């Protein structure tokens, strides 16, 4: 029973009211073959379904993510350290606290606020069974990011980005492929210090993005930018840990809601 409701809920990720029919949103079509085999009362399930999806939207911090980190934690993980003044990107100036000995310092109060919003959004996406794709083109942290994605049950891409990955997906992977519902960039630059192609492609395909923007990155086109350091191992481990905890929390909450409402 709980599994049935789960399947129905996942199928109607974007539009909670419609159940069973072939949905088409943002160019992805997913038809539920299993829906045809389920003859049980759809109206009761639809009501329960709606409640499951709408209850988290009632409160601002439903998943209590503000308990996960403090500004002091960010400071100890050296998230405030940016690059030198010469590498500074013009659009990052609002996020900088200042510079000390030519090194840009990122404003941790703004970072905390942005991070809170980004984690909240990630939690909601994971709660609704969305696909989260972790992207990072830094060789140093590729293994860490992939391991994080494996442990959350989500997906990772820390390798060479093929051009038509998002924009030409039905041709590359086969018809009926489902694209990610959220892309998390743990570093928005690629190996030649240019903006990662995935940011532009995600914007083209209407996929929201969360991105850790350092002081030499371009924060435009990222839906939820999080100004912070992306070069230190401590900082990367902090981000990975926080993301893993939010996603696991959201998924556990979802399972519990289904069991509660299912009864």
Partner 1 sequence: LTCSSGRTVTACIYSLAFPLQLLSRQICVSSAAWRKNLAAAGPEKFSEEYIKKQVEEFNIGKRHLANIMGEDPETFTQEDIDRSIAYLFPSGLFEKRARPVMKHPDLLFPKQTAVQWGEDGRPFHYMFYTGKQAYYSLMHDTFGKVLALEKYQDSMRNKGLFTKDTRQMSLTGSRWLLKEELEELLVENISDHDYTRFLQLMERLLSMPYCAMEEEFVQRFRRQLEVQSSKQEIPAVQHDENGVAFSQAEGRRKTAKASIKLRDCGTGSITINGKSYLLYFPVLQDREQLMFPLHFVDMLGRFNVEASVEGGGHCAQAGALRLAVSRALLSFVSAGEMESMRQAGLLTPDPRVKERKKPGQAGARKKFTWKKR
Phi and psi at residue 105, in whole multiples of 5°? -110, 125
Interface of this chain with partner 1, residues 168 to 187, rule: CB under 8 A: 172-174, 176-178, 180
Interface of this chain with partner 1, residues 34 to 93, rule: CB under 8 A: 34
Of 20, 155, 167, 223, the residue at the interface with partner 1 (CB under 8 A) is 155
Interface of this chain with partner 1, residues 185 to 244, rule: CB under 8 A: none
In terms of CB distance, is 79 or 144 closer to partner 1?
Answer: 144
Q: Annotate 227-259 with b (16+ C-beta within 10 A) or e (fewer).
A: bbbbbbeebbebbbebbbbbbebbbebbeebbe
**Applying CB under 8 A, which part among 53-61, 65-73, 77-85, 145-153 lies near partner 1?**
145-153
Q: How far is the CB of 80 from partner 1 (least distance, A)?
A: 28
In terms of CB distance, is 64 or 143 closer to partner 1?
Answer: 143
Of 19, 96, 112, 165, the residue at the interface with partner 1 (CB under 8 A) is 165
Report the SS3 class of residue 258: helix
**Applying CB under 8 A, which part among 95-103, 114-122, 150-158, 231-239 lies near partner 1?**
150-158
In terms of CB distance, is 32 or 218 closer to partner 1?
Answer: 32
Q: How far is the CB of 167 from partner 1 (least distance, A)?
A: 13
The runs of H, that is alpha helices, within the chain are: 2-11, 33-36, 42-54, 71-76, 108-127, 142-152, 169-173, 197-204, 233-262
Long-range contact pairs involving 199-204 (C-beta distance under 8 Å, separation at least 24):
201/165, 201/166, 201/167, 202/166, 204/166, 204/167
Of 32, 122, 136, 216, the residue at the interface with partner 1 (CB under 8 A) is 32
What gap in Å lies between CA 195 and CA 218, rounded to an integer?
7
Examine residue 162 and tell whether it contacts partner 1 (CB under 8 A). yes
**Applying CB under 8 A, which part among 75-83, 120-128, 141-149, 242-250 lies near partner 1?**
141-149
Q: How far is the CB of 107 from partner 1 (least distance, A)?
A: 33
Say if CB 32 and CB 11 are below 8 A apart: yes
Question: Would you list the DSSP string of 46-114?
Answer: HHHHHHHHHGGGGSTTTT-GGGT--HHHHHHTTTTEEEEGGG--GGGGGGEEEEETTEEEE-HHHHHHH
Examine residue 143 and tell whether it contacts partner 1 (CB under 8 A). yes
Give residue for tokens 């399947």. 7
Examine residue 131 and tell whether it contacts partner 1 (CB under 8 A). yes
**Rule CB under 8 A: which residues touch partner 1?**
7, 10-11, 28, 30, 32-34, 129, 131, 133, 143, 146-147, 149-150, 153-157, 159, 162, 165, 172-174, 176-178, 180
């Amino acid at each position: 029973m709980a599994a049935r409701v789960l399947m129905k809920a996942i199928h109607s990720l974007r539009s909670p009211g419609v159940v069973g029919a072939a949905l088409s949103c943002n160019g992805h079509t997913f038809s539920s073959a299993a829906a045809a085999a389920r003859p049980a009362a759809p109206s009761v399930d639809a009501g329960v379904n709606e409640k499951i999806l709408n209850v988290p939207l009632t409160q601002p911090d439903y998943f209590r993510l503000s308990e996960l980190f403090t500004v002091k934690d960010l400071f100890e993980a050296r998230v405030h350290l940016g690059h030198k003044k010469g590498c500074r990107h013009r659009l990052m100036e609002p996020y900088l606290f200042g510079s000390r000995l030519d090194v840009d310092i990122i404003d941790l109060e703004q970072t905390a606020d942005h991070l809170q919003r980004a984690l909240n959004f990630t939690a909601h996406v994971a709660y609704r069974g969305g696909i989260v794709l972790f992207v990072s083109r830094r060789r140093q942290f590729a293994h860490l990011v992939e391991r994080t994605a494996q442990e959350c049950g989500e997906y990772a891409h820390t390798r060479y980005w093929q051009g038509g990955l998002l924009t030409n997906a039905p041709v590359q992977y086969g018809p009926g492929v489902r694209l990610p519902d959220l892309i998390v960039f743990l570093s928005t630059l690629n190996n030649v210090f240019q903006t990662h192609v995935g940011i532009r492609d995600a914007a083209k395909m209407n996929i929201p993005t969360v991105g850790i923007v350092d002081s030499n990155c371009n924060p435009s086109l990222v839906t939820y930018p999080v100004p912070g350091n992306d070069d230190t191992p401590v900082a990367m481990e902090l981000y990975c840990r926080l993301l893993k905890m939010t996603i696991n929390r959201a998924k556990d909450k979802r399972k519990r809601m289904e069991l509660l409402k299912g009864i």
